[in-house]
Structures are given as structure tokens and as C-alpha cells.
């Protein structure tokens, strides 16, 4: 699965995703953060699911109607829980994400907003 991980997500999560066989790009490697709109646009253009801790991406997608290829938002999870949640949820929800769903993962809860 092709994934773009926001800079606010720990590098350790990125490493775990790569070990899980995913094609992962981390915004933290870009040097300068181009801003949320540019990150979302690049993820869409390159058909990558965006993983973030930031709720602003959901607002860009829902309120402003910005195109995206699926967003997975992690809320109130430790770094270890973030990695485990991603590795568990991504394969189970791949089709929904690739159709443009927005998933929010919290301790003990998964919310899915269909495209």
C-alpha cells in the first residue's frame, strides 16, 4: 500500500509501516513542511493514503472539499499503539481508504467517514 505519513507522526511508526511491507514516504524527510494543503494535494496526486495526527486534513477534505486518496487520523495513541493500529487497520480498510474514506482511530474506537 502507498502511504504518505505526516511529519507529526513519529519516525518509529514510519519504520514499522515499512517493515510491514508498505511503500511509505515521510513528510519529515522533505526538509521544510509545505503546509497541510500541499501535503494533501501531493498524497492525492500520488495516490497515497495520508496518515496524520492532525484534524486539519479532515477539515480540508470535508469542509473545503479538497480531493484526497484516504486519510487515517490517529488520536490519543502512544507511538506503539499508532504503529499497531496502522498495521491492523490499513489492510482491513484499504478499499474504503482508496475510495476516499476518512478513518479516525482512538483507543478502543474506529470511526469511518465514507467518501
> What proportion of the chain, given as a percentage, has pLDDT over 70?
100
Q: 48: closest CA among 16, 72, 28?
A: 72
Summarize the confidence of residues 43-71 as an average pLDDT: 93
Report the relative pairing of strands 102-106 and 109-113 from DSSP bridges.
antiparallel
- pLDDT of amino acid 98: 87
Element (H, E) at 73: strand 71-74
User: What are 23's three cell numbers?
Assistant: 511503500
What CATH fold (topology level) applies to the domain 2-113? Rossmann fold (3.40.50)
Task: List, in order, residues 6 or more apart from 7 with CB less than 8 Å away.
Answer: 26, 27, 28, 30, 33
**Separation of alpha carbons 19 and 12, rounded Å:** 11
Report pLDDT for 115. Answer: 83
pLDDT computed for residue 12 by the predictor: 95
pLDDT for position 36: 95
Q: Can you give the pTM of this predicted structure?
A: 0.95
Residue 57: pLDDT over 90:
yes
Amino acid at each position: 500500500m502507498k502511504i504518505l505519513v505526516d511529519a507529526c507522526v513519529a519516525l518509529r511508526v514510519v519504520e514499522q509501516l515499512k517493515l510491514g511491507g508498505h511503500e511509505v514516504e515521510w513528510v519529515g524527510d522533505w526538509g521544510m513542511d509545505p503546509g497541510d494543503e500541499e501535503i494533501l494535494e501531493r498524497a492525492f496526486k500520488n495516490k497515497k493514503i495520508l496518515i496524520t495526527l492532525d484534524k486539519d486534513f479532515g477539515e480540508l477534505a470535508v469542509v473545503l472539499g479538497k480531493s484526497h486518496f484516504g486519510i487515517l487520523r490517529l488520536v490519543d495513541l502512544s507511538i506503539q499503539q499508532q504503529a499497531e493500529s496502522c498495521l491492523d487497520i490499513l489492510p482491513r480498510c484499504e478499499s474504503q481508504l482508496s475510495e476516499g474514506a476518512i478513518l479516525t482511530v482512538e483507543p478502543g474506537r474506529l470511526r469511518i467517514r465514507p467518501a
